[in-house]
A and B are shown apart, each in its own frame.
Chain A
Amino acid sequence: MRYEAPERVETAVSLLSGERGLARILAGGTDLLVQLKSGMVEPDLIVDIKKIPEMRRIGAENGGFRIGAAVPSAELSEHPGIRALWPGVVEAAGLIGSTQIQGRATIVGNLCNASPAADSVPAMIVAGAIATVAGPQGRRELPVEAIAAGPGQTSLAKGELVISIFLPGRPPRSGDAYLRFIPRTEMDIAVVGVGVSLTLGEDGLCTAARVALGAVAVRALLVDEAADALIGTAVDEAALERLAAAASAACRPIDDKRGTKEFRIKVAGVLARRAAETALERARRN
C-alpha cells in the first residue's frame, strides 16, 4: 500500500487514474480507516487530499458558498455565513459522529461513502447542492443526488473525485432543516433522516419545497410527492399531514439491526412533519 499526499488536484487525478490496483481517497478518514481496520478494503493506494489548497477552502460564490472536499464538518459549524444560509445542512453535517469525528469528517466524504444513512446527504439534496467532479476528462458538475448509486457505490468513474460542493444562494423567506432518528442522543447512525427546504411567498404560502429522506432506501431519496404536499399551501396542519403520508409512502426500507421497516416508515412521516415545522419557522424569520 502506498500513501500519497499531492498538492494539486491534477496530481490527485493522475495518481487515481494511474493506479492499476484499488485506490482510495483519504479526506477525513473516518470511514476509510474503519474499513481498513476491519479488512473490508485493502487499497493499493491512498491519496490524501488534505494538502490540496483548493480542497481546504470555504469561499463565497454567487450568493452561495463553495466548500472544499477536505473541509472538516467542524469548520462548517463554525462558519457564520453557511450557518445563516443553510442551517439544515450545517446541523446535518454536525450530526455526523462525535466532536472528534467532526474534527475530521467531511460532507464530501459523507456523500462519496455512499451510505444510505449519511446524514448530510438529504440536507444537501434539498439544498440543491452541486458537486464539482475532477477527473481525467476535466471537470464536470452534477447534483449531489446523482453521486450515490447504491450502498457503498458511486456514479464516479475511475480517476474521478469530488473536489467541492456548491451550496447555492436562496430567495428570501426560505428555510431548511434536517432531522434524524437515533435511539441514543449521539453517536448512532441514522435510522431515518429527513431534510426539508422550503420557500414562502409574500402571502405566506409555500412557493417551493424539496424533501429528501435518508436510511429508508438504497440511497437518499428526493421525494417530489412530499414536496408537492407543501407547495401552494400555508404549511398548515392538513399540508403537514399530507407531507407525512407522502414521506412514509416513499420509503422502501429494510429490517436491520438499527430498525424495522414499519418503524422507519412511520418515523419518516413523523420526522418529515417536524423538520418541515422547523424549516417553516426559519423561513418566516428570513
Chain B
Amino acid sequence: MPRDDVTAETRQSFTKVGTRPLRPDGVDKVTGRARFGADMAAPGMLIGKVLRSPHAHARIRSIDTSKAEALPGVKAVVTRDDFANRTDELRDILVNVMAREKALYEGHAVAAVAAVSAAVARKALRLIEVDYELLPHVIDVEEAMRPDSVLLHDDMFTAGVDPVPDQPSNVAKRCEFGHGEVEKGFAEADIVIERSFRTEASHQGYIEPHACLASVGADGQGELWCCTQGHFMVRDTCAALLGMDVSRLRVIASEIGGGFGGKTTVFIEPVALTLSRKAGRPVKLVMTRDEVFRASGPTASTSVWVRIGVTKDGRITAGEAVLKYQGGAFAGSPVEPGAMTAFACYDLENVRAIGYDVVTNRPKQAAYRAPGAPMAAFAVESVVAELADRIGMDPIEFRLKNASREGTRSAYGPTFGPIGLVETLKAAKAHPHYSAPLGNNQGRGVASGFWFNFGGQTCVSLNINIDGTVGLAVGTPDIGGSRASMCLMAAEELGIEYDRVRVIVADTSSLGFNDVTDGSRVTFASGMATIQAARDAVKKLCARAARMWDIPEDAVVWEGGYAKPAGANAGDFQPLSLRDIAAAAAKTGGPIAGHWEFNAENAGPSFATHIVDAEVDPETGRTSILRYTVVQDAGKAVHPSYVEGQFQGGAAQGIGWALNEEYIYGADGKLQNPGFLDYRMPVASDLPMIDTVIVEVPNPGHPYGVRGVGETSIVPPLAAVANAVSAAAGVRLTSLPMSPPKILAALEAEKGAQAAE
C-alpha cells in the first residue's frame, strides 16, 4: 500500500531529490519569453496612473477631478469616494490603497486615472486639484513615541497594555516574550553589557516594479493579471474592497520579478480594478521605481536596546531587550517576530524581550525576508560578539556553549524539536574561512540567526496524462526556482524522470485557496502537498492496475515507478509502469489525478551561522567585503543550487542593509533617495563570491525532512558585518547602515577619546 501518513518517517535515500536539474521555466527566462507583471496587454487597454500626496502628513479637504475628467482620452478617475469605507480588519489596507481623510505619508495615493495613453494619463493627474491642510509630521521611531508627538490616528490606543491607555498615541501595540527572572540572572553575571542600536528602513529592492492588468466587465466578472507572491490573497482582498463575490474575480499570477515579502499585500491592484470597472475597459497599471520606493512597503526602522549578562566561563545568565519598530503609517511593524527571534539562538534561563509597534508618516511597511528578525539579531549578536571578546572566548565556542538545541525552551515560548544551530556553528568553526589569516585594517565577524518558517494553507492538483507525463498545478507563485523543486519531489514519489513532470502556478479559479508565498513555506508546504498528491495518485494508479489485473486493490504495491503485485499470492503479473496505466486510463475508469489540500504545520525552524571578513579604509571609512561564508540548515536540500541561491541572496541583501542601504528623509518628511542611484543596493563589483555550506538536520514535520531556507539567510548578515567592521575599525558600530561618513565619524570620535585619555 502507498504510504498515507503526512508525517511519515523521514526518507533517507533519494534518486531525484538532491540533484541539480535545469529549472522547468528556465528557457523562457533566458530568452525573454517569460511574461512578468508589466509584459501583458489586452485589446482596448487603458493606461492607469496614480496621483500621490506630495506631503508627509496632510488633511485632504477636497479633491476636484472635474478638469481631469474633461480631458479628452480620460476614461475614468477614481478617488476615496469610489471605495466603500469599512471598519473591519481590511480598513488599513483600504486606506493605504487610497487615502481617505488624511494623506499619511509622502507618496500616499489620493486619486487615479485611466486614459488612452500614458501621456494623457500623466496630463490628467496634473489637472486633479487636491486641497490639502498641511499637518506636522513625524518620521523617527523614538520621536513618534514621545507623549507630545504629532499623532497619526486619534483612535490609536496602545494594545497589549493593561489597563488600556486613556490617551491615543502612535504606539499601536506592546508585546512581551520571555521566561525566568531576568534581574536574578543579571545578578549572577560577572559581566553585563548593554547597548542601544539603530537600523534604518530598507527596501526589498525587487527589480520588477508592481504591475497589473485589470479587467472588469459590465457583468461584474473580473480578471486580474499581476505580479504577486499570493494571487489568492490578492483575489480575496480585492473582491472584498470592491464588494465582489470572490468567485467572480479570477487572478492570474504573472512571473514575478522578485518580492522578498514586498509583494505579499495589495497596492495598485484594487485601484486598477476600480478604474476598469468604472471605464468598462481593461486597465494596465505599473508603478514607476520612484513610486515603488515612496509608496510600496519597505521594512521598519528600529531602535533596539539590549542587555546581556555572562559568567567568566562563558555562560549567559540573562538576556533582555526592548525593541521599538516603526512600520509606517499603520499598525503592523514586525516588532513581534523581532522580539520573538531576538534570543532564539540561545538556551536561556532568564530572558525578556519587550516590543513596541509604532506608527510614523512613512509608507506602510511590508514584509521583508524574515520580517523583524535581522534588526533584533543585529543588536543581540553584536552584544554577544562583544561579550565573547571581553571574556576572551572564541565567538563560536561562546555561542556553542549557549546554543539552543533540541529540548531547549525557546525564548519565545515553545520547546525546540530537532534543530541545526549547533551543527551550523560546528561547520562554521571547521570551515577554512574561519581560520584564514587577516591583513591590516581587516576584521572577521560571525553571527547566528533564526527564523521560524511557516506552513499554511496549501492546495495542489496532480494530473496523470495519457502519455504518462504528469501535470502539476500549485497555487504558490515561484519566486526563486520552486517549480524545479516541485518537479523533483513529484518525480521522486512517482518514480518517473524529472522532465516528465510539468508544473504550473495555477490561477485562483483552478485550485483551492493557497496562502501567500511567504514564511519560506513553498518548498516545505507546497512540496509536502505535492508529495501527498503524488501519493494520492499512486493509490489510484494501483487501483487501476488492480482492475487491469482483476485482483484486489490492496494486492498492488507501487515500487520504483511501477505497480507490482504485492506478493506471490497476489498473482503473477508483469509490473505496469505509470505510462502503461495512463495509456489504459480511458478503459479503466477515466482520468487519473491526485489532490492534496491541507493547512501545513510543523515547518521546522532554520538556523544559520555566517562568517564575513571586512576591510575598512581608516582614512575614508569605506568598507570592502572580502570574503563571506553562509552555513545554514536546510533540513533537506531538494535542489541544492537553488538552496545555495537563497543563502547567497539573503547574505547579499543583508550586506547592503548593513553597509549602505537606507531610507533618507529630509526635514520636510519627504524621501530623498527614491531611486536605485541613491538607494545603494550592492552591485556585482561590491561583493565577493559567497561560499555556502548546506547543513541537513531533517525536519520531522516533512516527509523528506525539508525546512524552509529563504528567510533565515538574511538574519545573521547585519550583525556579522557589524562585527567584522567593528573588528576592522577597532570601534564598535551600533547604527546601520555603516556608511562611510558614519564609520569615519566613529573613528574620529575614538581618536578624540584616546587623545583625551
Contact = CB atoms under 8 A, between A and B. Distances in A.
Are A and B close enough to touch in the complex, i.e. CB under 8 Å?
yes
A181 B744 contact: no
B664 A257 contact: yes
Interface of A: 38-39, 181, 183-189, 191, 256-260, 262-263, 266-267, 270
Contact of B660 (A38, A184, A260): A184
Contact of A259 (B619, B659, B741): B741
Contact of A184 (B620, B621, B664, B680): B680
B745 A181 contact: no
15 contacts: A181-B740, A183-B660, A183-B740, A184-B660, A185-B686, A186-B683, A188-B680, A189-B677, A256-B672, A257-B664, A257-B673, A262-B745, A263-B741, A263-B744, A270-B619
A181 B673 CA distance: 18
Given A257-B673, A263-B741, A184 B683 contact: yes
A51 to B, nearest CB: 26
Given A181-B622, A187-B683, 19 more contacts: A38-B290, A181-B620, A181-B740, A183-B739, A184-B682, A185-B685, A185-B686, A186-B685, A188-B677, A189-B677, A257-B664, A257-B678, A260-B741, A263-B740, A263-B741, A263-B745, A267-B619, A267-B620, A267-B740
B682 A257 contact: no
Interface in B669-685: 672-673, 676-678, 680, 682-683, 685
Contacts of B677: 187-189
Contacts of A191: 740
A181 B619 CA distance: 11
A146 B748 CA distance: 37
Contacts of B672: 256-257
B61 to A, nearest CB: 25
Nearest to A39: B122
| Residue among A38, A191, A257, A262 facing the most chain B CB atoms (10 A cut-off) | A257
Contacts of A185: 683, 685-686
A181 to B, nearest CB: 6
B750 to A, nearest CB: 15
A280 B673 CA distance: 38
B294 to A, nearest CB: 13
Contacts of A267: 619-620, 740, 744
Contacts of A270: 619-620
Contacts of A38: 290
Contacts of B676: 187
A183 B678 CA distance: 10
Contacts of B745: 260, 262-263
Nearest to A97: B677
- The interface residues of chain A, by DSSP majority, are classed as loop
A262 B740 CA distance: 12
A192 B683 CA distance: 20
Contacts of B682: 184
Q: Contact size class for B?
A: 20 to 34
A184 B686 contact: yes
Nearest to A244: B619
Nearest to B673: A257
Given A38-B290, A257-B664, A257-B673, A183 B744 contact: no
Interface string B674-714: 00111010110110000000000000000000000000000
Nearest to B684: A186
Interface string B446-486: 00000000000000000000000000000000000000000
A180 B744 CA distance: 16
Given A266-B744, A267-B620, A183 B680 contact: yes
B679 to A, nearest CB: 10
A113 to B, nearest CB: 14
A266 B620 CA distance: 8
A101 to B, nearest CB: 11
Contacts of B739: 183
Contacts of A259: 740-741
Nearest to A266: B744
Given A257-B672, A258-B678, A263-B741, A183 B685 contact: no
A226 to B, nearest CB: 17
Contacts of A181: 620, 622, 740
A92 to B, nearest CB: 18
B421 to A, nearest CB: 33
Given A188-B680, A257-B664, A266-B744, A183 B673 contact: no
B139 to A, nearest CB: 14
A187 B682 CA distance: 10
A270 B622 CA distance: 12
Interface string B281-315: 00000000010000000000000000000000000
A183 B621 CA distance: 9
Contacts of B685: 184-186
B618 to A, nearest CB: 10
A272 to B, nearest CB: 12
A262 B745 CA distance: 9
A24 to B, nearest CB: 18
Nearest to B660: A183
Interface string B217-239: 00000000000000000000000
Nearest to B620: A267
A38 B294 CA distance: 14
Interface string B585-622: 00000000000000000000000000000000001111
Contacts of A189: 677-678
B275 to A, nearest CB: 22
Interface in B636-692: 659-660, 664, 672-673, 676-678, 680, 682-683, 685-686
Nearest to B665: A257
Nearest to B656: A184
A185 B740 CA distance: 13
Contacts of B748: 266
Contacts of B740: 181, 183, 191, 259, 263, 267
Interface string B256-299: 00000000000000000000000000000000001000000000
Contacts of B678: 189, 257-258
Contacts of B673: 257
A115 to B, nearest CB: 12
Nearest to A185: B685
Most buried by B among A38, A181, A186, A187: A187
Contacts of A186: 683, 685-686
B495 to A, nearest CB: 49
A237 to B, nearest CB: 15
Nearest to A255: B741
A188 B619 CA distance: 19
Nearest to B682: A184
Nearest to B664: A257
Contacts of B680: 183-184, 187-188
A261 to B, nearest CB: 10
Nearest to A270: B619
Contacts of A262: 741, 745
B622 A183 contact: yes
A257 B678 CA distance: 8
A271 to B, nearest CB: 8
Nearest to B744: A263
B744 to A, nearest CB: 6
B14 to A, nearest CB: 41
A18 B602 CA distance: 74
A187 B621 CA distance: 18
A191 B748 CA distance: 19
A71 to B, nearest CB: 24
Contacts of B659: 183
B701 to A, nearest CB: 41
A269 B676 CA distance: 29
A191 B741 CA distance: 10
B312 to A, nearest CB: 40
Q: Which 4 pairs from chain A and chain B are nearest by CB?
A: A263-B741, A185-B685, A270-B619, A257-B664
A181 B744 CA distance: 13
